[in-house]
Amino acid sequence: MKPDFKIVGHRGFKSKYPENTIVSFLAAMDFGVDSIEFDVRLTKDRQLVVTHDHTVDRCSNGEGLVRDFLFEDIRKLDFGGWKDSKFAGTQIPTLEETLDAILGKDPNFPLLVELKEDDDECTKRVYDMCLKYNVLEHGLMLSFHPRQLQLLRSWNPDIYLQGFPDRYIKVPQPPEAFNGLYNKTCLWTTDAKPEEIKFYHDKGVAVDLCPVDNEEQLEIAIPLDVDSITTNAPDVIYPLLRQRGLR
Ligand code: G3P
Ligand code: CA
């Protein structure tokens, strides 16, 4: 890992809190992660909500596609009790509530805002919201949908964008992927190789490694020249880093 590597809290503090909820984000900040990543989706009435999966099944007490729920109905679901009864009653947050909560605590806190929808109008609204909250001064936007990154780049030559290698996505990266479209990419810990990290660095593209949640994954990460690591378990990783003099 680079000497100044950063630590990204994946969906907040995912191992101990219900992912992609305000309580998870605030806990990750309190723990001291350098930045927080979260996922944005659309409801049926096109409200911007923060959740990872395309269904509500895994992370709530409901069933069905996020995009089939009206906002007022998805808000009735419990997005916390599945993780632990002490989180029962936690609601799915909107993008605006997420930004208010995190940036209300620290206006300069770096965020990684992932566009889960391949939807131009959604991307524009998320982008506008990020501008309104100054997210792009310190953070980045990312997506598995190259078209959305191309749109963002067409609107803003200076925005910091994260993409993914071809093998992780359904639509191949456009030719300009390594010529100004992406500033950063993300490799899975299971298949990151030094040659590939060098390939990206030679093109000026930073590299994140995800996930780094335990000692075995940290031992893979340490010798690699990555710019950041993404963790679900900061409570496990920080003590291991401290033992090694890396934090
Ligand atoms: O930044 C990496 C990560 O957020 C992408 O994977 O599936 O958690 O959205 P996923
Ligand atoms: Ca994500």
Confidence of residue 78 (pLDDT cuts 50, 70, 90): very high
Nearest CA to 160 out of 193, 190, 137 is that of 137
Q: How confident is the model at residue 178 (pLDDT cuts 50, 70, 90)?
A: confident
Closest ligand 1 atom to the C-alpha of 210? Answer: 2
Beta strands in the chain (DSSP E): 6-10, 35-42, 48-50, 111-115, 140-143, 161-163, 184-188, 206-210, 228-231
143 lines ligand 1 (CB under 6 A): no
Ligand 1: nearest atom to the Cα of 8? 1
Name the closest-CA residue to atom 1, ligand 1: 186
Render pLDDT for 100-115 as a digit per residue (tens, 0 to 9): 999 999 999 999 999 9
- The structural domains of the chain, with segments of one domain joined by +, span 7-185
Per-residue model confidence (pLDDT) at position 152: 98
- In the reported structure, the alpha carbon of residue 140 is separated from the centroid of ligand 1 by a whole-number distance in angstroms of 13
Q: Identify the three-state secondary structure at position 185.
A: strand
Which pLDDT value is given to residue 173? 82
Contact status, residue 184 vs residue 160, Cβ threshold 8 Å: yes
**What tokens does 20 get?**
């992609």
Q: Is the CB of 213 under 6 A from ligand 1?
A: no
Pocket of ligand 1 contains residue 39 by CB under 6 Å: yes
What integer pLDDT is reported at residue 176 of this predicted model? 82
Cβ-Cβ contacts under 8 Å for 147 (sequence gap 6 or more): 118, 120, 171
Q: Which ligand is nearest to the CA of 144?
A: 1
| Whole-angstrom distance, CA of residue 10 vs CA of residue 165 | 19
In this prediction, residue 118 has a pLDDT band, given cuts at 50, 70 and 90, of very high
Instruction: Count Cα atoms within 13 angstroms, Cβ side, for 84.
Output: 10
User: Mind listing the pLDDT tens digit for each residue in 199-244?
Assistant: 999 999 999 999 999 999 999 999 999 999 999 999 999 999 999 9
The CATH homologous superfamily to which domain 7-185 belongs is: Phosphatidylinositol (PI) phosphodiesterase (3.20.20.190)
| 99 touches 137 (CB < 8 A) | no
What whole-number distance in Å separates Cα of residue 4 and Cα of residue 159?
A: 22
- The ligand with the least distance to the CA atom of 35 is 1
- Stretch (H or E) spanning 48: strand 48-50
Question: 161-163 and 140-143 as β-strands: parallel, antiparallel, unpaired?
Answer: parallel
What does the alpha-carbon distance between residue 241 and residue 206 come to, in Å, rounded to a whole number? 21
- Atom index in ligand 1 nearest the CA of residue 37 equals 4
Q: Check: CB of residue 59 under 8 Å from CB of residue 20.
A: yes
> Model confidence over 21-71: pLDDT tens digits?
999 999 999 999 999 999 999 999 999 999 999 999 999 999 999 999 999
